[in-house]
Each structure stands twice: as C-alpha cells, then as structure tokens.
C-alpha cells in the first residue's frame, strides 16, 4: 500500500491581506471582507460534466482524501485539504475541481496555512510579482443589445402563453487586451469596491458574487437568495426612496418569491426545520440594491450521506438564475439565450474534508482566457417585465466588472 501524503495545517497568527498574497498564475480565491481562503499551486485537478457531475465530483474528492494523512492543529472550518470548485450552469459543459498545493486562510483576525507534501512549512512570498496593467478593447457579446431585447420580448410572450412563470436571460460582453489579463488586479479592485460580496477565482473565472448559494457549517445550512434589482443613483436620499419602491414592487416581489420558494423546497427534505422570513430585506451594494432573503435550516442528523454535493444537486439551478418551473425555464434558455454560459451562474466556492464549506452563485463575473475576458449579466423575466428596463438592469449588473477592469 502506498504511503499517505502529509497534509499539514498550522496557525500563522498575524492578520494577512489575503488578496495581496496571490501568485500571478492561476490564483484560487474565496474572500469576503478580508476573511476567506486563497490558494496556489495545484496538487490535483479534474473536470466533470454531465447529469452526474455532482456525484462524480464527490467521488473524485473522496478518492483524493483517502490519500491524505491530515495533521491539523487549527481544527477549524476551512483548515486541512481544501477543494476549490466551479460548476457549470448547464450539465453538458465543463465543471472544474482544484485542490491547491498551498492554502492560506483568515477568519476574525486569525490566520493559518495548509500545505500538501512532506516539506517544511512554506515561506510566504514577501514580494509577489508586480500587477500587470492592460489596455482593453470593448466589444459586443454573443448578441447585440437590440437582439437581446428581442429575446426578452420572446420570453415575455412565452410567459403569457405557457405555464412558465419566470425565466432568467443572460447576456455577455467580450473584452480583449494587448497582453495577458492579470486576475489579481481585477480581484483587488472588486474587493475594494464591493467588500460585502464574496470575491472568487477558480480556473480563470473571476468575480464578486453577492449571492451565497450554500453554506454548510457543523450541520447548519444557509442560503442567501437575491432576486429583484434596482440601480442606485449615489444620492442617499433618492436611494432610500428607491429601496422603499423596490420593497413594494409587485413585479420584483413576485420574482423574489419564486426564487425563495425554489431554495426552500430544495432544502426542506434535508432539514429538520427551515426558517424562511416572511418578507425580504433590501441588500445595498455599491451600484445596485437587491431584494434578499436568508433561508436557514438544521440538517437531519440521521442522513449521514447528505453533503454539499447532495444539496447542490437539488439547489442548482435555482429560480434566481434559471426560472420557474425549472425544466421549462432551462429549455427556453437553451432555445433563445444565444450564448454559452460556461460556469457563469453555476456554484462556485470551496469545501473542506469535514464537509463544511461555502459556495456562491458565480455572478458579477468574467471568464479569462489569456488575452480575453467574457463578462456576464442576467435578469429575471416575469409577466410584468419590459425589455428596455431589463437591458438597463443588465447594464447595471455589468458595472462591477467594468469598473474592476478599468
């Protein structure tokens, strides 16, 4: 029998600016407000696809865990070996799993390092490679704005004529650079401008999501649902009035209710009880406001086989990124959206060997391919939607990535 591979977690103690530790090559990130995890180097990685991709991901992760001899003096969520994962929206596209060679974590002022292998504790770089500036050429995406509005109108007609209640339509923009794009600069800019979002990077997909699809921590499960959006003006008084109008908007409340219901229904079979607030709160971000609801539950202890992969299979895709009913909405997206979503709107985040972890929905993001980045934005379409207003909402949702690139 081959000898097990050492995995060691040790405290660092000092406050570390995680996003300043990242390498210039293939950074891995899940950071919010300075806390989170960053990784570099790849101990192992794989790609899964197809209708069984969540089960295949579990199998692969558990096969890797069997090879490890874990020495963890920190004993906290996010220590020990970590799986960074980014799943595709559509099962027929590639989902990516990566186990970093080295991980640094930070929570509540305390930091730690985990490394795989029998070497001594790695030294953190005192000087990381310089950030690379780039000049960008902005172009249209898969569809022009006018063409996308036509697709929105088609979706509204389908809602009026069929059993479809809501569908999420996304659009993209493609931006080219004269040199390879440095993910680290984008991540730092996003973190500075949107500190309340989760800043993520996995295999070239970088972004700042406000939507937590799934948090598992010691048997408790949490999912933050966002649906219903309004742009901010920058004037505090006007924005308070806009927030009040969003909270009363029948169109936005209807869209939000579909999304909350889909998440609560997905979690219910796995929980002894779930808590769903009666009404949403308004989440204020730098550029937009969202209707938001935190759905929480306690996992049934007898269901030992239930893990993040089991729940993800039921949660994804939620009404917030697909629609209601899910299968009808997914079919319409395939027929009329006119682009490949890739890993946009799919689950992204991390899991540890205990089964704890955090996974968001990959929103406000872009896929880097050397000298090009494709950025995405989506809007929930219901019976009361207006194509012109939806285009305006999608433009507001492009703002974080536009700003981070500029």
* Reduced 3-state DSSP string for 203-259: CCEEEEECCEEEEEECCEEEEEEEEEEEECCCCHHHHHHHHHHHHHCHHHHHHHHHH
pLDDT digits (tens, 9 = 90+) for 207-230: 999 999 999 988 899 999 988 889
Cα-based distances in Å from 23 to 39, 130, 185, 404, 405 = 9, 10, 11, 18, 19
What is the spatial distance between Cα 284 and Cα 379, in angstroms, rounded to a whole number? Answer: 18
Nearest one of 303, 241, 242 to 268, comparing CA atoms: 303
Nearest one of 118, 163, 172 to 143, comparing CA atoms: 172
* Reduced 3-state DSSP string for 146-169: HHHHHHHHHHHHHHHHCCCCEEEE
Active site (annotated) includes residue 166: yes
Cα-based distances in Å from 214 to 58, 263, 348 = 16, 10, 10
| pLDDT, position 131 | 66
**Would you state the torsion angle of the CA atoms of residues 8, 13, 18, 20, taken in this order, to the nearest 10 degrees?**
-110
Low-confidence ranges of the chain (pLDDT < 70): 1, 125-132, 303-304
Q: Are 345 and 361 in contact (CB under 8 A)?
A: yes
- Provide the 10 A C-beta neighbour count for residue 113: 20
Both tokens assigned to 359? 């996974």
**Look-up of token digits 């649902």:** 225
Active site (annotated) includes residue 157: no
| pLDDT, position 318 | 87
Pairing, β 110-116 against β 5-11: antiparallel
| Catalytic member of 158, 165, 211, 255 | 211
Q: Are 190 and 197 in contact (CB under 8 A)?
A: yes
Residue 70 φ/ψ, nearest 5 degrees? -95, 125
Both tokens assigned to 240? 């308070």
* Level-2 CATH architecture, domain 5-120+136-405: 4-Layer Sandwich (3.60)
> Left, alpha or beta for 109 (phi > 0: left; psi -120 to 50: alpha)?
left
Cα-based distances in Å from 83 to 28, 31, 47, 349 = 10, 15, 13, 8
Residue 352 CB partners (closer than 8 Å, separation 6+): 77, 78, 79, 80, 81, 82, 83
Residue 383 φ/ψ, nearest 5 degrees? -60, -35
What is the spatial distance between Cα 119 and Cα 247, in angstroms, rounded to a whole number? Answer: 55
| Catalytic member of 20, 93, 160, 166 | 166
What is the spatial distance between Cα 82 and Cα 112, in angstroms, rounded to a whole number? Answer: 13
Both tokens assigned to 322? 């697909």
Pairing, β 95-107 against β 82-86: antiparallel
- Reduced to 3 states (helix: H, G, I; strand: E, B; else coil), residue 139 is strand
Cα-based distances in Å from 392 to 127, 250, 277, 284, 396 = 42, 19, 30, 18, 6
What is the spatial distance between Cα 371 and Cα 369, in angstroms, rounded to a whole number? Answer: 6
């Amino acid at each position: 029998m081959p000898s097990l591979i050492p995995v060691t977690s040790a405290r660092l103690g000092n406050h570390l600016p995680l996003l300043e530790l990242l390498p210039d090559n293939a950074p891995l990130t899940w950071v919010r407000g300075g806390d989170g995890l960053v990784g570099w180097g790849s101990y192992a990685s794989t790609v899964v696809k197809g209708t069984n991709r969540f089960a295949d991901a579990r199998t692969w992760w558990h096969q890797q865990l069997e090879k490890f001899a874990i020495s963890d003096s920190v004993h906290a969520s996010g220590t020990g070996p970590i799986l960074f994962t980014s799943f595709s929206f559509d099962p027929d596209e590639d989902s990516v799993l990566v186990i970093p060679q080295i991980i640094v974590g930070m929570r509540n002022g305390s930091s730690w390092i985990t490394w795989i292998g029998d070497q001594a504790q790695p030294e953190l770089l005192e000087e990381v490679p310089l950030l690379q500036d780039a000049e960008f050429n902005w172009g249209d995406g898969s569809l022009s704005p006018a063409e996308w509005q036509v697709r929105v109108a088609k979706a509204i007609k389908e809602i009026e004529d069929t059993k479809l209640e809501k569908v999420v339509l996304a659009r993209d923009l493609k931006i080219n650079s004269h040199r390879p794009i440095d993910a680290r600069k984008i991540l730092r800019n996003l973190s500075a401008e949107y500190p309340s979002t989760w800043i993520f990077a996995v295999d070239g997909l970088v972004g700042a999501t406000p939507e937590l699809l799934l948090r598992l921590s010691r048997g408790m499960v949490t999912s933050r649902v966002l649906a219903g959006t309004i742009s901010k003006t920058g004037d505090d008084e006007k924005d308070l009035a806009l927030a009040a109008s969003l909270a009363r908007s029948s169109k936005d409340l209807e869209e939000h209710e579909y999304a909350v219901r889909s998440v609560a229904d997905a979690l219910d079979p796995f929980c002894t009880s779930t808590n769903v607030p009666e009404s949403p709160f308004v989440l204020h971000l730098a550029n937009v406001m969202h209707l938001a609801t935190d759905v929480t539950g306690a996992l049934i202890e007898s269901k030992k086989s239930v893990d993040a992969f089991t729940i993800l299979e039921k949660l994804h895709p939620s009404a917030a990124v697909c629609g209601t009913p899910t299968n009808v909405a997914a079919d319409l997206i395939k027929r009329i959206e006119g682009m490949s979503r890739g890993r946009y709107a799919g689950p992204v985040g991390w899991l540890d060997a205990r089964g704890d972890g955090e996974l968001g929905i990959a929103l406000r993001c872009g896929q880097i391919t050397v000298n090009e980045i494709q950025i995405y934005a989506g809007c929930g379409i219901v019976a009361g939607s207006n194509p012109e207003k939806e285009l305006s909402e999608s433009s507001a949702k492009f703002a974080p990535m536009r700003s981070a690139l500029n």
